[in-house]
Amino acid sequence: MADIHIEREHALGLAAARQLAWKWAEQAEEEFDMSCTYEEGTREDAVQFTRSGVSGCLRVEGDRFVLDAKLGFLLGAFKERIEAEIVKNLDTLLAAKKPAAKKAAAKKKTT
């Protein structure tokens, strides 16, 4: 069996991270035919996901995501490709949720 471990820090807080994790779970179900179960907690949430040859958990915290997955024998040969796809999807969702950079207000001219 091959293992995948991915951690991503963020500054979203649990409520916003929870919404992002829901999107991630929906994508996993649609794109990869995963069966996902979402469990909300007071300090962290967990998305359990499975399909033939794969099982794992995405832990959702106020300041980071932690994904652990186990790949079966056949999918283990594709570990690097699968890991790269997970990283890409998670990073894309995180990039879309980043707050806009603060810009200084323009100074008014006084006459």
Give residue 13's pLDDT band: very low, low, confident or very high (50, 70, 90): very high
40-89 residue pLDDT tens:
999 999 999 999 999 999 999 999 999 999 999 999 999 999 999 999 99
The model's pTM is 0.82
Q: Strand order of the sheet with strand 64-71?
A: 2-9, 64-71, 54-61, 44-51, 35-39
For tokens 């500054």, the residue is 11
What are the tokens at 7? 């951690």
**CB-side exposure of 18: number of CA atoms within 13 Å?**
11
At residue 101, does pLDDT exceed 50?
no
Complete domains list, the chain, with CATH: 2-97 (3.30.160.110)
Strand partners, 36: 49
